[in-house]
Structure 1
Amino acid sequence: MAPALRRITAIVPLHLEVLAGWNGLDRPVRWVAVSELEDPTPFLEGGELVLTTGMRLSAGDAEPYVSRLVARGVAGLGFGVGLSHDAVPPAFAEAAEAAGLPLVEVPRDTPFIAIGKAVSDLLAGEQYEEISRAFAAQGRLTRAALQREGPVAVVDRLAREIGGWALLLDPAGALRHAAGTTGRRAAGLHAGTDDKRGVAGDWARETARSLEPEIARLRSAPSLSSLALSTPDEHVVVQPLGRRGFFAVGSPRPFSPIAYTIVNAAGSLLTLALEQGREQRSAAAQVRSAVLRLLLAGEVRAAAETLAALGMRLPEEPVTVLACDTPDPEALTEALTGAAPGAVPGALTGAVPGPRGAFAGVGTFTAPWEGLLVVLAPDAGADELVALAAQHGRVGVSAPGVEIARSEGRVDGRMEGREPPAAGAAGSVTRNASRPDLDTGLDRGYEHDLDRAVDQARRALVSASPVARFSELAGRGLLSLLDPAAAASFAAAILAPLREYGSRADLVESLRAYLASNGHWDAAAQRLGVHRHTLRYRMKRVSELLGRDLDDPAVRAELWIAVCL
């Protein structure tokens, strides 16, 4: 930051005396300009201390001269005496006082170059101090990045360094973590924590949503390294973090070059911290998948022992199973479990100690599974977890009340104390011979509650809804499970030959009546108001145009869906 004029006038060897404009002495002086022109403003940028001996100036020039300097935004006027003028003309002091421009008398014994050197030294000292502060800030950010929850610690530290707020966002722009001071309100904005989900938390989420256009611009234009936004009350910088997400910082003051340096350093550290954890997160995901495989095989004791060796545990029973179709399983895992971005130990089970995540206390278990993220959510917090998961993609939900422990005791295809059912009998198991490791209960019987629940959650994803509960599918009707756009395209394609047929007969309406009457000619003909032989002819034409056998139940089912859309 440039030195204030008050600091320059206080330098004793310069012997400067302030004659007017005392209220403006806190203005920063960015340079010293010496000029004897009647109008030096074309050669000024603003923020200068202008020095003159008044060689070409008279008392009548005072007001227009001072007005031009004020309009240009100079920091102050230094009037040298003892050469052209024995003293500063009173008209200049009056004009400066009226305009609020600091006016300083420079004695004959003080060379203008001495003032220039003094200001230059102060500027160099200020720059050195700013650079030192920047290096110190980078050191503090680096130490924060080395902590267990590196990215979160960096965001917290960055908010303090800039005296504002900072947000960490996932690749979709959703809020992962926030910290800092927002306007006149100070808050530890730990996104999602139970004790911080009031006004401040709402503000952080709303701020993240307001930045969606900027996130979209950065995503669509990879050449953009950052975006800066400014309003009278706030200044914001948004930067990408490679493929791992984005971060945004805001301050009530404009960002100085040093502040930009600190922000850029934080961005580099965040990118590095998030990228370095990729292999560890991948290994953690493999461990969770292995644990889920054990659970689905009925080996609950082995799964629990595996987690116990890592200092983790299974979620409390009973649970509800979620099957989540999301483009970013890692971000969803962090959101569901409260794990810090990039943190590995807590990511193994999602049971993170402390109040960092809103659902850390419920012991949620997540595991990647055949392109989905399977979640075992304790029933007590299942509804909240379902709502949160829906923000990241589609969610299939099993029936509640699943007892994981009931899977225990299965040995070589049988439960303790029970004989396995005969081959082909109801409830018997049909294994996938080609992929036994991926067998999860689809198209077969069930060995235990968890096996059935995973199957239910996955089957619920057939619905086009963001959230589909298996227990509600039967009452919703088949058509409600179809994606509207895909179903409309299917109907248009399958019925196109009938709509393009040149006859005046409405073959689509005739087909609808025929199918609605379950193929009964008389009932369908009566509904249409035509003779049954006419309807027979139309259905023959329909069969020929479509190339399908209308007596085939599967064909009738497809056509019925098409005509109902």
Structure 2
Amino acid sequence: MLSALSLAVGGTLMRLLDLVGLPGLDIRLRVKGAEERLSRPIAWCAPTEHMDPTPFLSVNALVLTSGMGLNVRDYRIWDAYAERLAAVPVAGLVFGTGPAHRELPEGLLTACEAHGLPLFELPPQVPFVLVMRQVEQTLAAERYDELRRGWDLADECTRLAAQGRSLTAVLDRVAESVEARVAVTDQSGFELVSAGEAPSSAPRSTLRLPSGEPHSFRLQVQGIESNVLLHPLLGPAAAVLAVQLSYTLGSRTPLHSREAARFMDALYDEQPTPEPILERFATEAGFNALEPWGALLVNATEGMDRFQLRVLAWQARIRLEERFRTVRFMEEPGVTTLLVQGPADDASLPEEAPTLFADTPGLSVVVAEAGSLDELPLSLRLARRHVGAPGVRIAPAADLPAIVEGLPGRGLVAMAQKLLAPLDTADPGGTLRQTLASYLRNAASSRAVCEELFIHRNTLAYRLRRIEDLMGISLDDGEIRTTCLLALRILQHQR
């Protein structure tokens, strides 16, 4: 039975069993060897008369010998010889009868049976050079076919990439060609994207994708037993994948969907989007507008390039998709926002976040949660104010700017303007308003206010008495101070 790769390249790998059918050679199969050994491909011919040729051999070599150096009757020597060849492992052994051995030695037959090594007998009138010529001609034709098909696949991948198809679509075509599972992995072995299927127990091979330091990516192929055809077939396509990967991660082409970007733009818009429209945007992006939300805001640290941030965001998205039903993300300069919904039974975004970025402690990550779509825009803007310092942190449930942003109505703005109007009328330069804001922001600490405004304590006392007289209030009242602080923040938010 042919392997998946031989079918993928459309040719017939030269197998041991094919030796029997080669014209003009009259080769006889004397020992079948272990199960399916006759289906092993032949990599090259290795004529040798050494008693121990293994230092000169490689996997799937076809050993040709007349046994001149093995003209012995001791079975143990034959047994050791067959054991060494089987351990390489070679594809099989062709033994030429003639002057050294008029017939196959019984010891060799027994040893090959014991070690599962396929054994062929070549008649005296057929020189080894004919066998080598037949095998090499067949292998040369196969190698040419592999190279041609490899470049044809690369051409297809190039056309797909030129048409604007995604990296996943190109990888799908590669997986279809080799009838195996293929994946692009980073230097740690983490899968960024994959295509195709293969049993989990299937063997794996890897090709390094051409990429500049410090980034290193590989193409992992699972489901192909031999590495012989992997490089000729996938080498050219791997180069195309590397270029597209570099473009995808390094360019300004969005990795997110247009629907996700439109929804998140609306969430971050300072002018509130009408609720029905916001619900429609959420639905079109794949969310359920009635469910709770989770968010991760990832900020690039100093010295981190866009390429690296995209790799980290991509990894986070893939890992989150294993724990949440819906995951979408949107990039902005230096910041990536990931929204999630539908956690698995034991999934918690605050618990998952530290594990996602454990390898990048310098990254700034803020976790936010919202119980409803109404709350989500304020939660995101609140989280955004806490992005910056390295590490993973949970956004607070609320802060003063968030409360102010959530306050409705033009009437409230008018009330705030009315409350502070006496200061603006008496002091158009804004000194009194600035002093009041500093006093409230610094929790009525005279020392802190004086240091911030570069004024003397007597000057501060004078200004505070004047503010109280103009507004008709007492700043000793905590409720009055809170009201003034809210009024200042409301007017500041309206600018």
- TM-score, normalised on structure 2? 0.53
- Deviation of the 1:313 alpha carbon: 11
264 and 87 in structure 1: CA distance in 2 versus 1, 3 angstrom threshold: closer
Counterpart position of 2:239: 268
Question: Residues of 1 paired with 2:286 and 2:74: CA distance?
Answer: 85
Q: Which of 32, 49, 53 is the equivalent residue of 1:22?
A: 32
Alignment of 1:295-334 (within 5 A): 296-298=269-271, 300=273, 316=289, 324-327=297-300, 330=310
Q: Does 1:116 align with 2:132?
A: yes
2:382 alignment counterpart: 456
Question: Distance in 1 between the 2:201 and 2:69 partners?
Answer: 54
Map 1:401-480; keep pairs closer than 5 Å: 401=372, 403=374, 450=377, 453=379, 455-461=381-387, 466-471=392-397
Distance 2:264 2:366 in 1: 21
AA paired with 2:19? I
Q: Which amino acid aligns with 1:272?
A: V
CA distance in 1, matches of 2:80, 2:187: 53
2:298/2:337 contact within 8 Å kept: no
Secondary structure of the residue that 2:73 maps to in structure 1? helix
Instruction: State the Cα distance separating 1:45 from its structure 2 match.
Output: 1.9
Query: Contact (CA 8 Å) 2:207, 2:219: kept in 1 or not?
Result: yes
Question: Does the C-alpha gap of structure 1 residues 147 and 94 become closer, same or farther in structure 2, counting only changes over 3 Å?
Answer: same
With over 3 angstroms needed to count, the CA separation of the structure-2 counterparts of 1:133 and 1:61, relative to structure 1, is: farther
Q: CA deviation at 1:64?
A: 2.5
Q: CA deviation at 1:14?
A: 1.4
C-alpha separation in 1, matches of 2:189 and 2:56: 44
Amino acid at match of 1:114: L
Q: Do the aligned residues in 2 keep the contact of 1:394 with 1:461 (CA within 8 Å)?
A: yes
Cα distance in 2 for partners of 1:153, 1:171 equals: 22
Per-residue displacement from partner, 1:413-460 (whole Å, max 9, x unpaired)? Answer: xxxxxxxxxxxxxxxxxxxxxxxxxxxxxxxxxxxx95x555533345
Q: In the alignment, which residue of structure 1 is the partner of 2:332? A: 368
* Residues 96 and 124, structure 2, Cα contact 8 Å, conserved in 1: no
Alignment partners' CA distance in 2, 1:89 and 1:314: 75
Match of 2:168 in 1: 152
Map of 1:76 onto structure 2: 93
Give, as a single letter, the amino acid of the residue that structure 2 aligns with 1:152: T
Which structure 2 residues correspond to residues 136-175 of structure 1 after superposition, within 5 A?
Answer: 136-142=152-158, 145=161, 149-162=165-178, 164-168=180-184, 175=191
What residue is the counterpart of 2:222 in the other structure? 251
Which among 132, 144, 150 is matched to residue 128 of structure 1?
A: 144
The secondary structure found in structure 1 opposite 2:33 is helix
Partner SS for 1:280: coil
| Inter-CA distance 63–272: structure 2 relative to 1 (3 Å threshold) | same
The equivalent residue for 1:481 is: none
Distance in 2 between the 1:6 and 1:329 partners?
53
What SS does the aligned partner of 2:125 have? Answer: coil
For the residues of structure 2 that align with 1:453 and 1:43, how far apart are their CA atoms? 67
Aligned ranges for residues 372-411 of structure 1 at < 5 Å?
A: 372-373=335-336, 391=356, 393-397=364-368, 400-401=371-372, 403=374
1:60 aligns with 2:73: yes
**Is the contact between residue 324 and residue 389 of structure 1 (CA under 8 Å) also seen in structure 2?**
no
Distance 1:147 1:121 in 2: 39
Distance 1:553 1:62 in 2: 98
Name the CA distance, whole Å, in 2 between partners of 1:332 and 1:43. Answer: 45
Query: Structure 1 residues 184, 11: closer, same or farther in 2, change over 3 A?
Result: same
Paired residue total: 362
Query: Does residue 50 of the first structure (1) align with residue 60 of the second (2)?
Result: no
**Matched residue SS, 1:281:** coil
* Unaligned runs of at least 5 residues, structure 1: 187-232, 339-354, 405-448, 475-549, 556-565
User: Would the aligned equivalents of 1:319 and 1:378 in 2 still touch at CA under 8 Å?
Assistant: no
In 1, are the aligned partners of 2:161 and 2:170 still within 8 Å (CA)?
yes
Retained in 2: the 8 A contact 1:315–1:365? no
Task: Pick closer, same or farther for the CA change 1:70–1:282 going to 2, 3 Å.
Answer: closer
Q: CA deviation at 1:259?
A: 1.1
Structure 1 contact 288–368 (Cα < 8 Å) conserved: no
CA distance in 2, matches of 1:319, 1:270: 38
Tell me the distance in 1 between the aligned counterparts of 2:246 and 2:210. 13
Equivalent residue number for residue 505 of structure 1? none
Residue 268 of structure 1: how far off its partner (Å): 2.6
C-alpha change, 1:185 and 1:472, in structure 2 (3 Å) is: farther
Residues 96, 121 of structure 2: 8 Å contact kept? yes
Name the SS of the counterpart of 2:64 in structure 1. Answer: strand
